[in-house]
Amino acid sequence: MVTKVTRSSVEPNDIPAIQTSNLTKLFGSLVAVDGINLEIKKGELFAFLGPNGAGKTTTISMLSCLLKPTSGTATIMGYDINKEPYKIKQIIGVSPQETTLSEHLNSMENLALVGYLHSIEPNKLKAWSKLMLETMGLTDRAKDQVRKLSGGMKRRLSIAMALIHNPQIIFLDEPTLGLDPQARRAVWDYISRLKGDKTILLTTHYMEEADILADRIGIIDEGRIAALGTSLELKADTIETHTMVVYAWNLTQKVIMELRNRYEKIEISNGTMTLSDKKLDFKDIIDRLHAAGTVVRSAYIKEPTLEDAFLKITGKELRT
Ligand SMILES: Nc1ncnc2c1ncn2[C@@H]1O[C@H](COP(=O)(O)OP(=O)(O)O)[C@@H](O)[C@H]1O
Ligand SMILES: [Mg+2]
Protein backbone atom coordinates (compact mmCIF):
# COMPACT_ATOMS: atom_id res chain seq x y z
CA MET A 1 0.00 0.00 0.00
CA VAL A 2 1.13 3.52 -0.72
CA THR A 3 0.53 6.48 1.56
CA LYS A 4 -1.14 9.64 0.37
CA VAL A 5 0.99 12.77 0.14
CA THR A 6 -1.07 15.90 -0.41
CA ARG A 7 -0.90 19.65 -0.45
CA SER A 8 -4.00 21.72 0.09
CA SER A 9 -5.74 23.05 -3.05
CA VAL A 10 -7.91 26.14 -3.18
CA GLU A 11 -11.55 25.10 -3.48
CA PRO A 12 -13.78 27.78 -4.99
CA ASN A 13 -17.55 27.47 -5.30
CA ASP A 14 -19.24 24.28 -6.33
CA ILE A 15 -18.90 24.01 -10.10
CA PRO A 16 -17.96 21.03 -12.29
CA ALA A 17 -14.21 20.64 -12.70
CA ILE A 18 -14.61 20.07 -16.43
CA GLN A 19 -17.67 20.66 -18.57
CA THR A 20 -17.73 20.40 -22.35
CA SER A 21 -20.42 21.59 -24.67
CA ASN A 22 -20.53 20.16 -28.21
CA LEU A 23 -16.73 20.20 -28.22
CA THR A 24 -15.67 19.55 -31.81
CA LYS A 25 -12.39 19.43 -33.74
CA LEU A 26 -11.99 18.97 -37.47
CA PHE A 27 -8.67 18.47 -39.24
CA GLY A 28 -9.66 19.35 -42.80
CA SER A 29 -12.58 17.04 -43.50
CA LEU A 30 -11.58 14.59 -40.74
CA VAL A 31 -13.80 14.84 -37.67
CA ALA A 32 -11.38 14.05 -34.84
CA VAL A 33 -13.71 15.08 -31.99
CA ASP A 34 -17.40 15.06 -32.76
CA GLY A 35 -19.53 17.17 -30.42
CA ILE A 36 -18.53 15.87 -27.00
CA ASN A 37 -20.77 16.75 -24.06
CA LEU A 38 -19.34 15.78 -20.73
CA GLU A 39 -19.30 16.83 -17.10
CA ILE A 40 -16.57 15.77 -14.70
CA LYS A 41 -16.97 16.42 -10.99
CA LYS A 42 -14.25 17.81 -8.74
CA GLY A 43 -12.11 15.05 -7.31
CA GLU A 44 -13.28 12.54 -9.89
CA LEU A 45 -10.93 10.26 -11.83
CA PHE A 46 -12.46 10.03 -15.27
CA ALA A 47 -11.04 7.77 -17.97
CA PHE A 48 -11.43 8.14 -21.69
CA LEU A 49 -11.18 4.59 -23.00
CA GLY A 50 -10.81 4.18 -26.72
CA PRO A 51 -8.69 2.83 -29.55
CA ASN A 52 -5.94 4.71 -31.40
CA GLY A 53 -7.33 7.60 -33.37
CA ALA A 54 -10.53 7.84 -31.26
CA GLY A 55 -9.88 11.52 -30.45
CA LYS A 56 -8.51 11.25 -26.91
CA THR A 57 -5.35 13.34 -27.34
CA THR A 58 -7.17 15.94 -29.45
CA THR A 59 -9.75 16.35 -26.65
CA ILE A 60 -7.02 16.78 -24.02
CA SER A 61 -5.19 19.27 -26.26
CA MET A 62 -8.35 21.39 -26.51
CA LEU A 63 -9.09 21.16 -22.78
CA SER A 64 -5.53 22.17 -21.94
CA CYS A 65 -5.77 25.13 -24.37
CA LEU A 66 -3.08 23.89 -26.76
CA LEU A 67 -5.54 23.49 -29.63
CA LYS A 68 -8.55 25.64 -30.51
CA PRO A 69 -11.85 23.80 -31.00
CA THR A 70 -13.46 24.09 -34.44
CA SER A 71 -16.76 24.60 -32.65
CA GLY A 72 -18.24 24.15 -29.21
CA THR A 73 -16.45 24.93 -25.99
CA ALA A 74 -15.54 23.72 -22.53
CA THR A 75 -15.01 25.16 -19.09
CA ILE A 76 -12.33 24.16 -16.62
CA MET A 77 -13.30 25.14 -13.06
CA GLY A 78 -15.70 27.58 -14.69
CA TYR A 79 -13.12 29.20 -17.01
CA ASP A 80 -13.82 29.07 -20.74
CA ILE A 81 -11.11 27.44 -22.86
CA ASN A 82 -11.82 29.87 -25.71
CA LYS A 83 -11.73 33.00 -23.54
CA GLU A 84 -9.56 32.36 -20.46
CA PRO A 85 -6.67 30.07 -21.46
CA TYR A 86 -4.19 31.87 -19.15
CA LYS A 87 -6.38 31.26 -16.11
CA ILE A 88 -6.76 27.62 -17.09
CA LYS A 89 -3.05 27.02 -17.59
CA GLN A 90 -2.46 27.97 -13.94
CA ILE A 91 -4.84 25.37 -12.57
CA ILE A 92 -4.12 22.40 -14.83
CA GLY A 93 -1.18 20.04 -15.15
CA VAL A 94 -0.57 17.89 -18.22
CA SER A 95 1.41 14.69 -18.62
CA PRO A 96 1.42 14.31 -22.41
CA GLN A 97 1.28 11.06 -24.39
CA GLU A 98 4.85 11.61 -25.59
CA THR A 99 6.77 12.61 -22.47
CA THR A 100 8.73 15.82 -22.83
CA LEU A 101 11.60 15.11 -20.47
CA SER A 102 15.13 16.43 -20.94
CA GLU A 103 17.12 13.19 -21.05
CA HIS A 104 20.46 14.70 -19.97
CA LEU A 105 19.08 16.52 -16.95
CA ASN A 106 18.31 14.73 -13.71
CA SER A 107 14.84 14.37 -12.16
CA MET A 108 15.22 17.41 -9.85
CA GLU A 109 16.43 19.54 -12.78
CA ASN A 110 13.50 18.49 -14.95
CA LEU A 111 11.14 19.48 -12.16
CA ALA A 112 13.02 22.79 -11.75
CA LEU A 113 12.53 23.54 -15.47
CA VAL A 114 8.74 23.28 -15.26
CA GLY A 115 8.82 25.04 -11.90
CA TYR A 116 10.49 28.09 -13.50
CA LEU A 117 7.86 28.07 -16.26
CA HIS A 118 5.23 28.33 -13.54
CA SER A 119 7.23 31.04 -11.70
CA ILE A 120 7.44 29.04 -8.49
CA GLU A 121 9.75 30.68 -5.91
CA PRO A 122 13.10 28.82 -5.62
CA ASN A 123 12.72 27.66 -1.99
CA LYS A 124 9.14 26.53 -2.56
CA LEU A 125 10.23 24.81 -5.78
CA LYS A 126 12.87 22.78 -3.97
CA ALA A 127 10.44 21.62 -1.28
CA TRP A 128 7.67 20.87 -3.78
CA SER A 129 10.06 19.00 -6.09
CA LYS A 130 11.10 16.78 -3.19
CA LEU A 131 7.47 16.19 -2.26
CA MET A 132 6.51 15.31 -5.84
CA LEU A 133 9.46 12.92 -6.21
CA GLU A 134 8.33 11.29 -2.97
CA THR A 135 4.71 11.13 -4.18
CA MET A 136 5.83 9.37 -7.36
CA GLY A 137 8.34 7.07 -5.63
CA LEU A 138 11.43 8.66 -7.18
CA THR A 139 13.24 10.12 -4.15
CA ASP A 140 16.24 7.83 -4.57
CA ARG A 141 16.49 8.72 -8.30
CA ALA A 142 16.42 12.51 -7.78
CA LYS A 143 19.99 12.98 -8.98
CA ASP A 144 19.93 10.42 -11.81
CA GLN A 145 19.95 11.61 -15.39
CA VAL A 146 16.58 10.90 -16.98
CA ARG A 147 18.18 8.74 -19.70
CA LYS A 148 19.12 6.27 -16.97
CA LEU A 149 15.53 5.85 -15.72
CA SER A 150 13.23 3.00 -16.76
CA GLY A 151 10.13 3.69 -18.89
CA GLY A 152 7.89 3.48 -15.83
CA MET A 153 10.05 5.91 -13.85
CA LYS A 154 10.00 8.37 -16.76
CA ARG A 155 6.21 8.26 -16.82
CA ARG A 156 6.12 8.85 -13.06
CA LEU A 157 8.51 11.80 -13.43
CA SER A 158 6.28 13.18 -16.19
CA ILE A 159 3.31 12.97 -13.76
CA ALA A 160 5.41 14.66 -11.02
CA MET A 161 6.15 17.47 -13.50
CA ALA A 162 2.44 17.86 -14.26
CA LEU A 163 1.84 18.20 -10.51
CA ILE A 164 4.65 20.58 -9.57
CA HIS A 165 2.55 23.76 -9.37
CA ASN A 166 -0.15 22.00 -7.33
CA PRO A 167 -2.83 22.11 -10.06
CA GLN A 168 -6.40 21.20 -9.22
CA ILE A 169 -6.88 19.30 -12.45
CA ILE A 170 -4.50 16.94 -14.19
CA PHE A 171 -4.58 15.40 -17.62
CA LEU A 172 -2.76 12.11 -18.03
CA ASP A 173 -2.60 11.10 -21.68
CA GLU A 174 -1.92 7.35 -21.94
CA PRO A 175 0.18 7.30 -18.75
CA THR A 176 1.21 3.66 -19.14
CA LEU A 177 1.57 3.41 -22.91
CA GLY A 178 4.20 0.83 -23.83
CA LEU A 179 5.04 -0.14 -20.23
CA ASP A 180 5.37 -3.75 -19.15
CA PRO A 181 2.65 -5.05 -16.78
CA GLN A 182 4.76 -4.61 -13.63
CA ALA A 183 5.75 -1.00 -14.41
CA ARG A 184 2.13 -0.31 -15.38
CA ARG A 185 0.94 -1.51 -11.97
CA ALA A 186 3.47 0.76 -10.22
CA VAL A 187 2.19 3.77 -12.20
CA TRP A 188 -1.39 2.81 -11.24
CA ASP A 189 -0.38 2.75 -7.57
CA TYR A 190 1.04 6.24 -7.80
CA ILE A 191 -1.93 7.59 -9.77
CA SER A 192 -4.29 6.15 -7.17
CA ARG A 193 -2.47 8.23 -4.51
CA LEU A 194 -3.80 11.34 -6.23
CA LYS A 195 -7.41 10.15 -6.32
CA GLY A 196 -9.89 12.41 -4.58
CA ASP A 197 -7.40 15.21 -4.00
CA LYS A 198 -7.09 16.05 -7.71
CA THR A 199 -9.55 15.90 -10.56
CA ILE A 200 -7.95 13.57 -13.08
CA LEU A 201 -8.79 13.05 -16.74
CA LEU A 202 -6.89 10.03 -17.94
CA THR A 203 -6.87 8.52 -21.40
CA THR A 204 -6.07 4.92 -22.10
CA HIS A 205 -6.62 2.11 -24.51
CA TYR A 206 -5.97 -0.43 -21.76
CA MET A 207 -9.28 -1.81 -20.57
CA GLU A 208 -7.83 -2.96 -17.24
CA GLU A 209 -6.40 0.50 -16.52
CA ALA A 210 -9.80 2.17 -16.87
CA ASP A 211 -11.45 -0.65 -14.89
CA ILE A 212 -9.03 -0.43 -11.96
CA LEU A 213 -8.48 3.33 -11.70
CA ALA A 214 -11.51 5.21 -12.93
CA ASP A 215 -14.54 6.42 -10.99
CA ARG A 216 -16.29 6.78 -14.34
CA ILE A 217 -15.40 5.75 -17.86
CA GLY A 218 -16.30 7.35 -21.16
CA ILE A 219 -15.95 4.95 -24.05
CA ILE A 220 -14.77 7.08 -26.94
CA ASP A 221 -14.87 5.91 -30.52
CA GLU A 222 -14.54 7.91 -33.74
CA GLY A 223 -14.63 11.21 -31.84
CA ARG A 224 -17.85 10.43 -30.00
CA ILE A 225 -18.66 9.25 -26.49
CA ALA A 226 -20.33 5.94 -27.21
CA ALA A 227 -21.13 5.14 -23.56
CA LEU A 228 -20.58 6.69 -20.16
CA GLY A 229 -20.76 5.29 -16.65
CA THR A 230 -18.97 3.42 -13.91
CA SER A 231 -17.28 0.21 -14.92
CA LEU A 232 -20.11 -1.75 -13.24
CA GLU A 233 -22.80 0.27 -15.00
CA LEU A 234 -21.17 -0.20 -18.40
CA LYS A 235 -20.92 -3.93 -17.85
CA ALA A 236 -24.46 -4.27 -16.46
CA ASP A 237 -26.04 -2.09 -19.16
CA THR A 238 -24.52 -3.93 -22.03
CA ILE A 239 -24.58 -7.53 -20.94
CA GLU A 240 -27.93 -9.17 -21.50
CA THR A 241 -26.98 -12.75 -20.85
CA HIS A 242 -25.56 -14.10 -17.61
CA THR A 243 -23.45 -17.21 -17.41
CA MET A 244 -22.98 -19.69 -14.60
CA VAL A 245 -20.37 -22.42 -14.57
CA VAL A 246 -20.85 -25.55 -12.43
CA TYR A 247 -18.29 -28.33 -11.90
CA ALA A 248 -20.16 -31.43 -10.81
CA TRP A 249 -20.13 -35.18 -10.38
CA ASN A 250 -23.14 -37.42 -11.15
CA LEU A 251 -24.87 -35.08 -13.57
CA THR A 252 -27.92 -37.08 -14.65
CA GLN A 253 -29.84 -36.68 -17.90
CA LYS A 254 -32.95 -36.07 -15.80
CA VAL A 255 -31.58 -33.01 -14.00
CA ILE A 256 -30.02 -31.70 -17.22
CA MET A 257 -33.45 -31.91 -18.92
CA GLU A 258 -35.07 -30.24 -15.91
CA LEU A 259 -32.61 -27.31 -16.10
CA ARG A 260 -32.92 -27.15 -19.91
CA ASN A 261 -36.65 -26.58 -19.46
CA ARG A 262 -35.97 -23.58 -17.19
CA TYR A 263 -32.88 -21.93 -18.65
CA GLU A 264 -32.12 -20.78 -22.18
CA LYS A 265 -28.82 -22.50 -22.93
CA ILE A 266 -26.99 -25.37 -21.24
CA GLU A 267 -23.72 -26.87 -22.40
CA ILE A 268 -22.06 -29.91 -20.83
CA SER A 269 -18.44 -30.81 -21.28
CA ASN A 270 -16.17 -32.99 -19.07
CA GLY A 271 -18.27 -32.62 -15.94
CA THR A 272 -18.63 -28.87 -16.46
CA MET A 273 -22.07 -27.42 -17.02
CA THR A 274 -22.33 -23.88 -18.42
CA LEU A 275 -25.77 -22.28 -18.13
CA SER A 276 -26.68 -19.00 -19.84
CA ASP A 277 -29.85 -16.97 -19.57
CA LYS A 278 -31.10 -13.41 -19.17
CA LYS A 279 -31.90 -14.33 -15.58
CA LEU A 280 -30.10 -17.04 -13.65
CA ASP A 281 -31.24 -18.15 -10.20
CA PHE A 282 -28.06 -19.45 -8.55
CA LYS A 283 -29.85 -21.01 -5.58
CA ASP A 284 -32.54 -22.66 -7.72
CA ILE A 285 -29.88 -24.31 -9.89
CA ILE A 286 -27.83 -25.59 -6.93
CA ASP A 287 -30.98 -26.84 -5.11
CA ARG A 288 -32.13 -28.80 -8.17
CA LEU A 289 -28.68 -30.34 -8.62
CA HIS A 290 -28.49 -31.36 -4.94
CA ALA A 291 -32.02 -32.82 -5.05
CA ALA A 292 -30.96 -34.93 -8.04
CA GLY A 293 -27.98 -36.32 -6.06
CA THR A 294 -25.38 -34.37 -8.03
CA VAL A 295 -22.19 -33.49 -6.17
CA VAL A 296 -21.40 -29.84 -6.88
CA ARG A 297 -17.65 -29.32 -6.57
CA SER A 298 -17.74 -25.62 -7.37
CA ALA A 299 -20.02 -23.10 -9.03
CA TYR A 300 -19.67 -19.46 -9.96
CA ILE A 301 -21.38 -16.72 -11.95
CA LYS A 302 -19.14 -15.48 -14.74
CA GLU A 303 -18.81 -11.71 -14.46
CA PRO A 304 -19.02 -9.74 -17.69
CA THR A 305 -15.81 -7.84 -18.45
CA LEU A 306 -15.33 -4.30 -19.64
CA GLU A 307 -14.05 -5.91 -22.82
CA ASP A 308 -17.47 -7.54 -23.37
CA ALA A 309 -19.07 -4.13 -22.82
CA PHE A 310 -16.67 -2.39 -25.19
CA LEU A 311 -17.30 -4.93 -27.93
CA LYS A 312 -21.06 -4.63 -27.49
CA ILE A 313 -21.02 -0.81 -27.50
CA THR A 314 -18.62 -0.18 -30.36
CA GLY A 315 -18.88 -3.44 -32.28
CA LYS A 316 -15.08 -3.54 -32.21
CA GLU A 317 -12.35 -5.34 -30.33
CA LEU A 318 -10.06 -2.93 -28.50
CA ARG A 319 -6.57 -3.86 -29.69
CA THR A 320 -3.98 -3.51 -26.95
N1 LIG B 1 -2.61 17.60 -36.07
C2 LIG B 1 -3.37 16.76 -36.73
N3 LIG B 1 -3.61 16.91 -38.06
C4 LIG B 1 -4.42 16.06 -38.72
N5 LIG B 1 -5.05 15.02 -38.17
C6 LIG B 1 -4.84 14.81 -36.86
C7 LIG B 1 -4.00 15.66 -36.07
N8 LIG B 1 -4.02 15.21 -34.80
C9 LIG B 1 -4.81 14.12 -34.78
N10 LIG B 1 -5.31 13.88 -36.01
C11 LIG B 1 -6.26 12.80 -36.36
O12 LIG B 1 -7.38 12.94 -35.51
C13 LIG B 1 -7.87 11.67 -35.10
C14 LIG B 1 -7.84 11.59 -33.58
O15 LIG B 1 -6.48 11.56 -33.14
P16 LIG B 1 -6.07 11.54 -31.62
O17 LIG B 1 -6.82 12.57 -30.89
O18 LIG B 1 -4.58 11.62 -31.58
O19 LIG B 1 -6.57 10.10 -31.19
P20 LIG B 1 -6.17 9.20 -29.92
O21 LIG B 1 -5.40 10.06 -28.97
O22 LIG B 1 -7.47 8.72 -29.38
O23 LIG B 1 -5.34 8.07 -30.45
C24 LIG B 1 -6.98 10.64 -35.78
O25 LIG B 1 -7.63 10.23 -36.96
C26 LIG B 1 -5.72 11.41 -36.08
O27 LIG B 1 -5.06 10.88 -37.19
MG1 LIG C 1 -3.54 9.78 -28.15
Q: Which residue ranges make up each domain of the chain?
A: 18-237, 241-303
Pocket test for ligand 1, best of 29, 30, 201 (most atoms within 8 A of CB): 30
Identify whether the C-beta of residue 54 lies closer than 8 Å to the C-beta of residue 90.
Answer: no
Which ligand is located closest to the Cα atom of residue 61? 1
pLDDT band at 314 (very low <50, low <70, confident <90, very high): confident
Per-residue pLDDT tens over the stretch 220-268: 999 999 999 999 899 887 777 788 999 999 899 999 999 999 999 999 9
Indicate whether residue 52 lines ligand 1 (CB < 6 A): yes
Which ligand is located closest to the Cα atom of residue 66? 1
Q: Do domains 18-237 and 241-303 have the same CATH topology?
A: no
168/18 Cα distance (integer angstroms): 11
100/181 Cα distance (integer angstroms): 23
Indicate whether residue 96 lines ligand 1 (CB < 6 A): no
Residues with CB under 5 A from ligand 2 (ion): 56-57, 97
152/158 Cα distance (integer angstroms): 10
pLDDT score for 106: 96
- Residue 201: other Cβ atoms inside 10 A: 28
Per-residue pLDDT tens over the stretch 177-231: 988 888 899 899 989 988 988 999 999 999 999 999 999 999 999 999 999 999 9
Whole-number Å distance, alpha carbon 55 to ligand 1 midpoint, is 6
Domain boundaries 18-237, CATH class: alpha beta
Domain boundaries 241-303, CATH class: alpha beta
Per-residue pLDDT tens over the stretch 39-84: 999 999 999 999 999 999 999 999 999 999 999 999 999 999 999 9
Whole-number Å distance, alpha carbon 58 to ligand 1 midpoint, is 6
Indicate whether residue 54 lines ligand 1 (CB < 6 A): yes
- Whether the pLDDT of residue 2 is over 70: the answer is no
Indicate whether residue 56 lines ligand 1 (CB < 6 A): yes
Per-residue pLDDT tens over the stretch 111-159: 999 999 999 999 999 999 999 999 899 999 999 999 999 999 999 999 9
pLDDT score for 50: 94
Average pLDDT over residues 11-31: 90
Identify whether the C-beta of residue 79 lies closer than 8 Å to the C-beta of residue 16.
Answer: no
> 14, 56, 20, 46: which is closest to 200 by C-alpha?
46
> Which is more confident, 13 or 216?
216
Average pLDDT over residues 280-307: 91
111/129 Cα distance (integer angstroms): 6
Angle (nearest 5°) at CA 241 between 260 and 262: 20
Q: Which residue is closest in CA terms to ligand 1's atom 25?
A: 53
pLDDT score for 7: 53
50/248 Cα distance (integer angstroms): 40
Per-residue pLDDT tens over the stretch 147-176: 999 999 999 999 999 999 999 999 999 999
pLDDT band at 1 (very low <50, low <70, confident <90, very high): very low
Indicate whether residue 50 lines ligand 1 (CB < 6 A): yes
- Whether the pLDDT of residue 9 is over 80: the answer is no
